Amino acid sequence: MKPLLCLLAVLVLPTAAVQAQGLDPNHYGTLSVYFENDLFGDTDENYTNGARISWTSPALRKFGDDPTIGEMAGYFDDMPWTGNSDYERNVAISLGQSMYTPSDTRNPNLVKDQRPYAGWLYVGMGLIWKNEKVKNTLVLNVGVVGPWSFAEETQRLVHEARGLNSPQGWNNQIRNEIGVNASYERMWRIRDRRDHHGIDWDILPYAGVTLGNVMTHANVGTEIRLGYNLPDDFGTGAIGDASTTPTALENPFIAKTWENRFGFHFFVRGEGRAVARNIFLDGNTFRDSHSVDKYPFVGDLSAGIAFNWKNTKISYAYIYRTKEFRGQEDEQVFGSITVSINF
């Protein structure tokens, strides 16, 4: 119950503070909490859990104006690409953890034909520059895999809280390694109307690339949304290398979500990835560890619903993922919940 109470505190206290103080809705930025788990697919294997908390700054004229990481981010203000004056800017900071297990978690021995036990604990720093038609995201994630990620301890805590048997094979997880990933993604927005009032739709195609010793891949995808009073943002993706806070008010100068108070929409998203490296399947970069033979192409298909009310947006998606390695018995399904509070 303690993790649940902590999560509720994270979600409720900022909102209460905003209402009590009457703060400007775009004064402090956006806080988002992500939770992904395969319990929604009634399994306990492969990508079994992901959690992340992210903060995105309010709109900035320059990256250097941000009081948190502006001193570092300001270097990008003078670059031709990111320094274009036509863009609105944000900076983002994240803390996350992901965990992976084989299908057979009762066996204390190494299960050679199944994926390794693995965890990934990381912090991320991101730059966002966008206008109403396009959004660019550059993210640097730095963290650790292996026992240093505390994935074993987290999973045992969750299983004990739910009254489930603890996994027995974490002694066979991949070894400790520092991980560094740099990701860039560009997303476009094709809209039915500019005001986002009433029934509306939009299409959000995107493409990106990730380079690093944890993940190296290229991805392309599209999200389609249909609903009532669509939020003026760029959609709601699952936890990804280049994803940042899905703010309820992506652009405060043209956004209509706040004044419309309530909206909802349905969405579907498809993504394909060409994978050159995945440390959670390939094993450690510089040390011997358990590994499996991965597939070079992986696809995700998701569908979900989102609600936005005043300064808050909540979404749920059900995600289907194709097989990631040779010998994997079934494709995977898992659920993703995201709550964003703009304050």
Domain ranges within the chain, ordered by starting residue? 2-342
Higher pLDDT, 267 or 247: 267
Structure-token pair, residue 179: 């991980």
One-character DSSP codes across 206-247: EEEEEEESSEEEEEEEEEEEEEES--BS-----S-SS-----
- State the average pLDDT for the chain: 85
Residue 8: band (very low, low, confident or very high) from pLDDT cuts 50, 70, 90: very low
Check pLDDT > 90 for residue 266: yes
Residue (of 178, 207, 186, 179) closest to 127 by Cα position: 186
Q: What are phi and psi of 38, to 5 degrees?
A: -85, 0
Check pLDDT > 70 for residue 18: no
For residue range 198-245, what is the model confidence (pLDDT) as tens digits?
888 999 999 999 999 999 999 999 999 999 988 888 888 888 888 766
Which pLDDT belongs to residue 20? Answer: 36
For residue range 331-340, what is the model confidence (pLDDT) as tens digits?
999 999 999 8
Residue 27: band (very low, low, confident or very high) from pLDDT cuts 50, 70, 90: low
For residue range 142-194, what is the model confidence (pLDDT) as tens digits?
999 999 999 999 999 888 887 878 889 999 999 999 999 999 999 999 987 76
For residue range 30-88, what is the model confidence (pLDDT) as tens digits?
889 999 998 888 878 899 999 999 998 888 888 888 887 777 888 888 887 776 778 88
Q: Percentage of the chain with pLDDT > 70?
A: 86
Cα 43 from Cα 338, distance rounded (Å): 20
Check pLDDT > 70 for residue 252: no
pTM beyond cutoff 0.75: yes
Contacts of 205 (CB under 8 A, 6+ apart): 187, 188, 190, 220, 221, 222
Check pLDDT > 80 for residue 251: no
Cα 284 from Cα 278, distance rounded (Å): 10
Cα 49 from Cα 236, distance rounded (Å): 18
Which pLDDT belongs to residue 131? Answer: 85
Which pLDDT belongs to residue 195? Answer: 65
Lowest mean pLDDT among 11-25, 61-75, 117-131, 162-176: 11-25
- CATH class, 2-342 region: mainly beta
Which pLDDT belongs to residue 60? Answer: 85
Check pLDDT > 50 for residue 22: no
Which pLDDT belongs to residue 247? Answer: 54
CB contact at 8 A, 322 and 301: no
Q: Which neighbouring-strand residues pair with 178?
A: 144
Mean pLDDT of all residues in 247-266: 63
Higher pLDDT, 44 or 280: 280
Mean pLDDT of all residues in 320-343: 93
